[in-house]
Amino acid sequence: MAPDGAGAPPHLMVEMARAGLVIPTGEPGLVGRGAALQAVVDGIVLLARRHGADDAAEPMQFPPAIPRRSLERSGYLRSFPHLAGTVHCFCGDERAHRGLLRCLDAGEDWTDGQEASGSAMTPASCYPVYPAMAARGALPAGGQVVSIRSYCFRHEPSDEPTRLQWFELFEHVKLGSPDQVVAFRTAWLARGTAMADELGLPHAVEVANDPFFGRAGTLMSDAQRQQELKFELVVPVNTPGPPTACMSFNYHLDHFGETWDLHQASGAVAHTACVGFGLDRLAFALLRNHGMDPTRWPAGVRAALSLA
Amino acid sequence: MAPDGAGAPPHLMVEMARAGLVIPTGEPGLVGRGAALQAVVDGIVLLARRHGADDAAEPMQFPPAIPRRSLERSGYLRSFPHLAGTVHCFCGDERAHRGLLRCLDAGEDWTDGQEASGSAMTPASCYPVYPAMAARGALPAGGQVVSIRSYCFRHEPSDEPTRLQWFELFEHVKLGSPDQVVAFRTAWLARGTAMADELGLPHAVEVANDPFFGRAGTLMSDAQRQQELKFELVVPVNTPGPPTACMSFNYHLDHFGETWDLHQASGAVAHTACVGFGLDRLAFALLRNHGMDPTRWPAGVRAALSLA
């Protein structure tokens, strides 16, 4: 049998497009949503907020971009250069514009003259949170939780529905002492499992690693697994194929604390953790497991998603 | 007196940041929102949906990006090359990555090796709607209205609060016959005015033009004004300074119909029009006119925004 995504037709994406749930654009991994899918996605966020009510999270909202200087400082280009996106723009005069249009009309590459702007795409919703919190000074004694939802970009063009280039991530981020952030992650491992149960999704929680670049990345992946810094809740979405990570539970140690000069109330460098909900993946998992018509999903699932 | 944005301090942005309404990121025109501002923005969308209920719009949702090929085909690069953004990515091997990191560590430009990807930033929320509708075949006899909300990008870095690089736009788009889309725009000129009244915002409706590039652009602007293709509802936001366009009412003639091969039920090329709500600008206009604390805004305004 062909491995998932390599030869096998992207059945799920075709089914979802046929049902009007997703709206293809012609660019792999860049799809729109019809109203029915959007309602499911919004319902997942409401459900996650309910399960996280005890966090008393402070909501923040950011555009899908961060300053390019933040991307540079974050360490992302060291670990995931292949996934990052930077926004480039035309800065020329009318003569340069005529050149651009000549290339465009001739079907040639016109993008050579595009220059890097001050913006980069958000790689994960939580990226703007750390510098924003650092700008406030030391954290409160109990630490702080921030909730955030935004579109993210990762450059891995594919028709595989769980490898979107543009996807939406809802996160709760905890900043505080090591004990506080570990307790937060432990609580969310239980809450995430309860959410998946409520949604009627078969699932398992696994130790995982991020997709670090290159050979040195293998060492980083191994270290991340040995220290159990990342767990994923996986659900069957592509069949055949391995299950898909739909939630992740990440302990960053003091990486973002050091990077952004984030301090606990005590003055010690802050530790951070986050729980992330892949909204598109969770919605696709629901469609795969309960069928292409959300109006016919089990009443309990619809109620959990505020659809009923 | 210094002209607006040229020498005068960006008072409103500073005031909003101090109140926690906006969250600066260090990049001009890229700001986050605190919970209070986000609630206002969401309230504006609900209000616009109520005023547009008769449109029976079909909701669509897209990421903040369109295929680069769509940008190329749309004509945007001909008229607004200076505002467009393309997403560029690292496509090299480990050796190239070492080079990238050397530049990064030396504080040198590392972006030379970034290559144009298949994605471009969405310049206005309605851009993905036209190809999506064209893919369905001819329009229904009465035409079609689509509602859409998304972040958009325009490259005009500035600390001026009404010139964000990243801003959110809610739109209703009508596709149909000339009569249908002109009637749609006429209806929205009245609805938009009623909305501004309900929000307690001083306003005027003016003939306007888009910011076409270069000297040839001046001719296009003049033609657009002569044909009254664009109206804007303007509100005082920057004081001193001219009022700011917070809503726009646009008749595209058959531009998008021709570009995307969009047809009416009769087989004739479709005409299109859209009404756009600049959500950040409207929220800033409310803050400027009613004060920095939305809990103390007039009861009628809070009710209109579903805040009460």
Residues A31 and A114 in one domain: no
pTM, two decimals, is 0.96
Nearest-by-CA chain A residue for B107: A72
Whether B40 and B160 map to the same domain: the answer is yes
Considering the domain architecture, whether residues B221 and B109 belong to the same structural domain is answered as: no
Sign of CA dihedral A10, A15, A21, A26: positive
pLDDT score recorded for residue A2:
36
CA distances from B4 to A150, A254, B149, B158, B164 (A): 32, 44, 29, 12, 15
- Tell me the pLDDT tens digit for each residue of A98-127: 999 999 999 999 999 999 999 999 999 999
Asked whether residue B7 is assigned to any structural domain, the reply reads no
Q: Smallest CA–CA separation between B1 and chain A, in Å?
A: 30
- Looking at chain A, the whole-number percentage of residues with pLDDT higher than 90 is 93
Nearest to A186 by CA among A174, A197, A198: A174
Residues A57 and A104 in one domain: no
Chain A residues with beta carbon closer than 8 angstroms to that of B81: 90, 92, 97, 100
- Nearest CA-CA distance, residue B190 and chain A, Å: 27
Say which of B66, B84, B89 has its CB closest to residue A84: B89
From the list A59, A121, A168, the residue facing B38 with the nearest CB is A59
Res B180 pLDDT > 90: yes
Q: How far is A186 from chain B (nearest CA, A)?
A: 27
Q: In what order do the strands lie in the sheet with A86-90?
A: A65-67, A114-121, A86-90, B86-90, B114-121, B65-67
- Our CA-based measurement puts residue A83 at a distance from the nearest CA of chain B, in whole angstroms, of 7
Instruction: With respect to residue B239, please indicate whether it lies within any of the assigned structural domains.
Output: yes
**Arithmetic mean of pLDDT, B78-83:** 97
A213 to chain B: nearest residue by CA? B94
pLDDT of B237-295, one tens digit each? 998 889 999 999 999 999 999 999 999 999 999 999 999 999 999 999 999 999 999 99
Instruction: Mark yes or no for CB contact A67/B104 under 8 Å.
Output: no
Residue of B nearest to A60 (CA): B34
Residues A136, A265 contacting (CB under 8 angstroms): no
- In this structure, the answer to whether residues B145 and B210 fall within a common structural domain is yes
| Pairwise CB contact (< 8 Å): B166 & A114 | no
pLDDT at A33: 98
What confidence score (pLDDT) does residue B7 get?
A: 43
Domain count along chain A: 2
Contact residues, chain B, for A167 at CB < 8 Å: 63
Residue A34 with chain B: CB contacts under 8 Å:
59-60
Question: What residues of B are in contact with residue A103 (Cβ under 8 Å)?
Answer: none
A76-90, A194-208, B3-17, B206-220: the lowest-pLDDT one: B3-17
Burial B35-68 (b: 16+ CB within 10 A, else e): ebbbbbbbbbbebbbebbeebebbebbbbbbbbb
Residue B5 banded pLDDT, cuts 50, 70, 90: very low
Domain boundary among A120, A141, A167: A120
Nearest CA to B234 among B296, B281, B181, B173? Answer: B281
Same domain, B27 and B176: yes
Q: How far is B196 from chain A (nearest CA, A)?
A: 25
In a domain, A4, yes or no: no
Reported ipTM? 0.95
pLDDT tens profile A51-73: 999 999 999 999 999 999 999 99
* B27 and B162 part of one domain: yes
Is A3 part of a structural domain of the chain?
no
Q: Flag if B86 and A81 touch (Cβ within 8 Å).
A: no
The region of weakest confidence among A126-140, A169-183, B2-16, B138-152 is B2-16
d(Cα B11, Cα B278) in Å, to the nearest integer?
20
The CATH number for B206's domain is 3.30.930.10
Check residue B241 and give its pLDDT: 87
In a domain, B3, yes or no: no
Of B91, B104, B116, the CB nearest to A72: B104
d(CA A88, CA B86): 5
B219 — pLDDT class (breaks 50, 70, 90): very high
What percent of chain B has a predicted confidence (pLDDT) above 90?
93
Say yes or no: B243 and B300 in one domain.
yes
Identify which of B25, B100, B118 has the shortest CB distance to residue A128: B25
The confidence band for A10, taking pLDDT boundaries of 50, 70 and 90, is low
The verdict on B210 and B141 lying in the same domain is: yes
And the tokens for B150?
Answer: 């998304």
**B95 assigned to some structural domain:** yes
Q: With an 8 Å Cβ cutoff, are A63 and B28 in contact?
A: no
Q: Do B30 and A65 count as a contact with CB atoms less than 8 A apart?
A: yes
Selected residue of B38, B73, B86 to mutate for chain A interface (largest A Cβ count, 10 A): B86
In terms of domains, do B102 and B190 share one? Answer: no
Whether residue A6 is contained in a domain is answered as: no
Tokens of B107: 């504080």
A159 part of a folded domain: yes
pLDDT tens by residue, A120-178 = 999 999 999 999 999 999 999 999 999 999 999 999 998 889 999 999 999 999 999 99
Instruction: Calculate what percentage of chain B has a pLDDT beyond 70.
Output: 97
Query: Domain residues for A127?
Result: 12-85+123-304
SS3 per-residue string spanning B81-93? CCCCCEEEEECCC
Asked if A121 and B87 come within 8 Å (Cβ–Cβ), the reply is: yes
What distance in Å separates residue A263's CA from the closest CA in chain B? 19
| High-pLDDT (> 70) share of chain A, % | 97
Q: Assess whether B114 and B251 both reside in one domain.
A: no
Judged against a pLDDT cut of 80, whether residue A300 lies above it is answered with: yes
Statement to judge: residues A52 and A77 lie in one domain: yes
Please, which residues bridge with residue A60 across strands? Answer: A148, B34
